[in-house]
Amino acid sequence: MPPESLSPYTSPGSKLPVISLFSGAGGLDLAVDRVADAPLSSPSVPSVGPFRVAVATDYAPQALQTLALNFPETVTVAGDIRDISTPELLRAGSLAVGDAAIVVGGPPCTPFSKSGFWLAEKRESRDPNASLLEEYVRIIAQARPEAFVLENVQALTYKTHQGHFQQLLAALSELGYNPQWKTLLAADYGVPQLRKRVFIVGRRDGKAFQFPEPTHGGPSETTRTWDRTKLSHVTAEQAFTGLVTSPESGELVEGKYGELTAEIPGGQNYLWHTSRYGGRDEFKWRSRYWTFLLRLAPDKPSSTLQAQPGPYVGPFHWENLPNEVGDLRARRLRVPELLRLMTFPDNFQIVGSRADIQRQLGNAVPLALGQAVLRALALQLGYIDAETDSDDRLVQSTSSAVLIS
C-alpha cells in the first residue's frame, strides 16, 4: 500500500514515477498523466494525479519530439529497446530497482496485426520484431515495478500467435506478477472508435488485477446485444461537436476512385458499388478490405483508425466538398478530428506531416481507454481514493456522452 501521505493524490514534487516503453505519440503517457481526470473529460490542464512519467523511450525521433512537446518534464531515451539496458533507463529517470510504480507500453503491433497478414512471416509468426515482447519482460524483470500495463492488438491472442502469447504470460507469471489479460473494445469506454486492443496487467504483489467494467454499450461488428442501462457509444458526430476545423492540403479524395468514393453514403464502403447495393456495379462482392473507400457514419463510432492507410483507405468523412473544378469529392479526416476520435485533448501537439500525424495517432492507445485501465489499477493499488473515484463515476453517469475539450 502507498504511504498515507500519497493518498488520494501526491503533490507534484512527490509523484510516483512511471516508466514508458515504446511510447510513440504518448497515448498511455497521457493516461498516466490524466488518471485523476473525471471520466469523459479532456481538459486543457489535467487534474493533479498520483503519477508522473519519469522516463520514456522510443526508436522514432519524431515520436520523441511529440513527447517532448507534450511532456516537457519527462526524460526521453532514443533508440532501439534491444540496445538500451535497464540500468541505463533507470539512470535516465533517476530511479533505482523497485522505484517505478508502473511500467506502461505497447510493443509495436506490426508482427501481430491483421493488416500485415499478407506477408508470410506475419501469418506464420516469424517476424523478428515479435522479440520486442521479450524486451518488455526483460525490463519488468530487472526494474521490478509495482505493476505493469502492456497493450497490443487483439491478434496477439489469436491461434496463429499462441506460442508468443503463452510464452509472454508464462514469463510474466514466473516473475510473480500474476498477469491478467482481456480484450477491450475502446467504444465501451467512451472512445468514439470501434477499436479492439488486448491489455495485460500484472502486480508485483501477485494480486489479480480486476479490469474496469464498460461504461458504454452499443452495437459493433461482433455485438448485437448490450447493456442498455449504460451510456450509448459515442458517435463520430458527437465527438466532433463544437469542433471548428480548416481545410487541409490534399484532404480531398481524387484519382481513380475519387468519384466513386464521393457517391458512397456515410457508413458504407466499396460494397456500395457492387451489384447488391445502390451504386455502380464496379467491384466484386467482398473483393477488397473493409476499409477500402469506407465513409464514416455520423451516428456510429468510427472504425479503427489506420496507422498507414493507402490513398483509398478510410474512414473518410461523411461530407463531400467541391474540388477546384466544382466536382464533389469525399475528404479525409482532419487532424483535429483524428484527435477527437482518439479522445486526445484538442491542444495535443504532434510533430510531422499529415501522414506522420496519422501514423503516430493510429499506433497510439486512445486516451479514454488507457485511462480506464490505469484508473482501475491506481484504485486497486490504493493511489486513488475509492470515494473520490465513486464521485467521478457519479459525474460520469449523469453527464453527456460528448467529450469535453
Cell 496477439: give the residue. Answer: 156
Cα separations in angstroms, 220 against 185, 196, 300:
9, 11, 9
How many H-runs (helices) and E-runs (strands) does the chain carry? Answer: 12, 13
Cα 117 to Cα 208: distance, rounded to the nearest angstrom: 33
- Residue 21's SS3 state is strand
DSSP 384: S
C-alpha separations of 16 from 11, 102, 227 in Å: 10, 9, 36
Q: Which of 60, 84, 109, 130 is catalytic?
A: 109
Separation in Å, CA 15 to CA 53, 55, 362: 9, 13, 30
- Positive or negative CA dihedral for 16, 17, 22, 27? positive
| 109 counts as catalytic | yes
CB 120 within 8 A of CB 173: no
What is the chain's length? 405
DSSP H or E segment with residue 260 = helix 258-262
Half-sphere exposure of 357 (CA within 13 A, CB side): 17
CB 391 within 8 A of CB 222: no
Q: ∠36-39-40 over CA atoms, to 5°?
A: 135
CA dist list (Å): 320 to 243, 246, 333, 337, 391: 18, 14, 12, 16, 43
- For strand 102-105 and strand 16-21, is the pairing parallel, antiparallel, or unpaired? parallel
Residue with cell 509495482: 146
Give Rg (Cα) of the chain: 21
According to DSSP, residue 331 is labeled B
3-state secondary structure of 54: strand
Mind telling me the catalytic residues? 109
